[in-house]
């Protein structure tokens, strides 16, 4: 990749957390050139996690400027809200962005374009009048239906599905969660650990049906593969998200799932030097973990710093490679996942999952058979989060003392070589 001199014109596409933090980092690092920010939503940047975690108790948008993350009105020379990026033409000398807004299309030229368009919820073809939970409008539409005694069907027992089911059940809604896999969060945590979450649903009065294939869905319910219809007053599809990159087809290389492949500094792998990308629209290549998909709040918050430092030529060393970090409040528990969970890993449990806080450690032997720690899930055990984030952000996965790690009375840092 050809490296450009520090830019004098930068366009940021996306007004979510990643786009906002990119703009704030640019100004904070001394960028005095022209900054244009483009965003499809018309509202000021807001925090998305409360939309599911606090759907019924925090009904106003959580303004990111008010939370101290930056104010686009003061950061940008030109702020184009209500505008959607529709095309990009870029080479190593610069980029031309085409955006569509209320008055039609226009072009924005820049030395560098930073793509931070995030991700969009998967919409299953043929499902009619089925809700999603991704933005303020989605939350408002759903909130009005979650009244005591209502019936809610949630398709998918992932992060959003579990968080939504939790708040709805607590409000007196009859909740059925339909999960295609054998256990909740199995695609993230693996089957063994996902199975440990199964009792949580019944404890909260939620009906969880795993191995459920949904063949049709509408506003009044869903139809399963065996022909059974599950009636509902509202149906929410929580079956994942996809990078919002359709407008980039042909302009940038994309991974099989449609993400922009980037390195630790947000440079597009195999792409022009005039384009960077960050946040949920990316697949980030880590020398330690391999390809790490976006769609993590922590990445949107922290990765723009390395991108901007590299872009402006003020980085004081190689770009950092922080361990992926995800947090969730669901079914009466606080969960964090640190690191990139590998398939087929050995599970080491710290604590009894049926009797209080616990942690699951994911261990893979190296070429010499030494047990290397790759990831960890903590459940109501915050004391393990800090050590996990520290050691899993090192250049190599640490060797784990299996016996010490399995003893919850032993501090985790003492079990690491």
Q: What would the pLDDT profile of 136-192 be if each residue is shown by its tens digit?
A: 999 999 999 999 999 999 999 999 999 999 999 999 999 999 999 999 999 999 999
Mean confidence (pLDDT) of the chain: 96
* Domain segments of the chain as ranges: 9-120+241-311, 123-237, 332-415
Report which secondary-structure segment, H or E, holds 52. Answer: helix 49-53
Identify the band that residue 5 occupies on the pLDDT scale cut at 50, 70 and 90.
confident
Radius of gyration from C-alpha coordinates of the chain? 22
Q: Per-residue pLDDT for 302 more than 90?
A: yes
Q: Which CATH class is domain 332-415?
A: alpha beta
**Which among 114, 120, 108, 136 has a CA at the least distance from the CA of 52?**
136
Average confidence (pLDDT) over 227-248: 97
Q: One fold for both 9-120+241-311 and 123-237?
A: yes
- Return the CATH number of the domain spanning residue range 9-120+241-311: 3.50.50.60
Q: Per-residue pLDDT for 2 more than 60?
A: no
pTM to 2 decimals? 0.95
Q: In the CATH scheme, what architecture does the domain 123-237 have?
A: 3-Layer(bba) Sandwich (3.50)
> Tens of pLDDT along 181-204?
999 999 999 999 999 999 999 999
Pairwise CA distance, residues 275 & 272, whole Å: 6
301: region left, alpha or beta (phi > 0 left; psi from -120 to 50 alpha): alpha
Cα 282 vs. chain centroid, distance in angstroms? 10
Pairwise CA distance, residues 106 & 98, whole Å: 6
């Amino acid at each position: 990749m050809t490296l450009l001199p520090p830019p004098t014109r930068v366009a940021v596409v996306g007004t979510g957390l990643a786009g906002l933090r990119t703009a704030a980092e640019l100004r904070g690092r001394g960028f005095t050139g022209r900054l244009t920010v483009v965003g499809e939503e018309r509202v000021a940047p807001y925090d998305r996690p409360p939309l599911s975690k606090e759907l019924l108790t925090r009904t106003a948008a959580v303004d990111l400027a008010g939370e101290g993350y930056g104010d686009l009105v003061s950061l940008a020379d030109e702020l184009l809200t209500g505008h959607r990026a529709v095309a990009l033409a870029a080479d190593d000398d610069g980029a031309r962005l085409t955006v569509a807004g209320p008055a039609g299309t226009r072009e924005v030229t820049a030395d560098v374009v930073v793509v931070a368009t995030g991700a969009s919820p998967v919409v299953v073809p043929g499902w009619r009048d089925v809700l999603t939970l991704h933005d303020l409008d989605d939350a408002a539409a759903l909130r009005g239906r979650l009244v005591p005694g209502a019936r809610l069907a949630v398709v998918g027992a992932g992060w959003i599905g579990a968080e939504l089911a939790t708040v709805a059940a607590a409000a007196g809604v009859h909740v059925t969660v339909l999960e295609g896999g054998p256990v909740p969060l199995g695609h993230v945590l693996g089957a063994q650990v996902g199975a440990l979450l199964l009792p949580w649903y019944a404890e909260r009065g939620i009906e969880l049906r795993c191995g459920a294939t949904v063949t049709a869905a509408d506003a009044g319910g869903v139809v399963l593969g065996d022909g059974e219809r599950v009636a509902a007053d509202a149906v929410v599809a929580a079956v994942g998200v996809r990078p919002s990159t359709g407008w980039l087809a042909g302009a940038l290389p994309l991974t099989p799932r449609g993400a922009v492949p980037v390195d630790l500094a947000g440079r597009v792998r195999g792409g022009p030097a005039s384009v960077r990308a960050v946040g949920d629209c990316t697949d980030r290549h880590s020398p330690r973990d391999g390809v790490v998909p976006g769609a993590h709040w922590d990445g949107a918050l922290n990765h723009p710093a390395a991108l901007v430092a590299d872009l402006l030529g003020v980085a004081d060393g190689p770009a950092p490679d922080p361990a992926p970090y995800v947090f969730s409040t669901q079914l009466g528990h606080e969960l964090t996942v640190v690191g990139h969970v590998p398939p087929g890993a050995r599970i080491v449990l710290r604590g009894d999952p049926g009797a209080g806080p616990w942690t699951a450690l994911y261990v893979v032997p190296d070429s010499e058979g030494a047990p290397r720690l790759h990831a960890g899930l903590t459940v109501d055990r915050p004391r393990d989060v800090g050590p996990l984030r520290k050691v899993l952000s090192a250049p190599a996965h640490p060797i784990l003392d299996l016996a010490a790690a399995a003893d919850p009375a032993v501090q985790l840092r003492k079990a690491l070589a």
